Copies of this chain bind each other. A is one copy, B any other.
């Protein structure tokens, strides 16, 4: 029996699938419109869990100093984690498309938040992050120019990054 040579895709990214999706969207722009969802159930105190499709729920709590039981990351930490995870997808996808091998990738995200508004004290009126900083540690053999171009593309097309840096219309209604 002849053996079939197989080639592992660069960075393990299935570029062919991404290309098929892009092609389908070029043929029918409506296919680019997606809706995502999460369903959160409150448990007790500051503990809750977010159910997303069939996956294990994302459990949430607050540190003890904020009145929680400190059993899980809190929501503003989860948000930073989501941003880093989003940038990781962007790096993997765009590096693979550019023929760049990623040996290692670590992304540190941090953000500053003033608690006064959340706590109902005098404040700026901004309960959210005042600024978010990301440091990307990319280990690769690619040239500095190629890495700089990759970085620019990733930072400029991140779905979570754009969501954070632009004002998103948010409606919160009682059902």
Report which A residues bind B (CB closer than 8 A): 11-15, 17-18, 21-22, 25-26, 29, 32-42, 44-46, 48-50, 52-53, 55, 58, 60, 62, 64-68, 72-93, 102, 104-121, 123, 126-138, 147-148, 151, 153-155, 157-175
Q: Which residue of B76, B114, B147 is within 8 Å of A32 (Cβ)?
A: B114
Residues of B within 8 A of A135 (CB): 173-175
Is the Cβ of A48 less than 8 Å from the Cβ of B84?
A: yes
Q: Which label, helix, strand, loop or mixed, suits the secondary structure of the A interface?
A: mixed
Q: Chain B nearest CB: distance from A149 CB in Å?
A: 11
Contacts A34-B112, A136-B174 given: A165-B169 contact, CB under 8 Å? Answer: yes
Q: For the complex formed by this chain, how many copies does it contain in all?
A: 2
Is the Cβ of B21 less than 8 Å from the Cβ of A65?
A: yes
Is the Cβ of B163 less than 8 Å from the Cβ of A129?
A: yes
Residues of B within 8 A of A105 (CB): 41-42
Is the Cβ of A64 less than 8 Å from the Cβ of B32?
A: no
Contacts A40-B106, A75-B85, A128-B162 given: A120-B157 contact, CB under 8 Å? Answer: yes
Q: Which residue of B39, B46, B91, B112 is within 8 Å of A35 (Cβ)?
A: B112
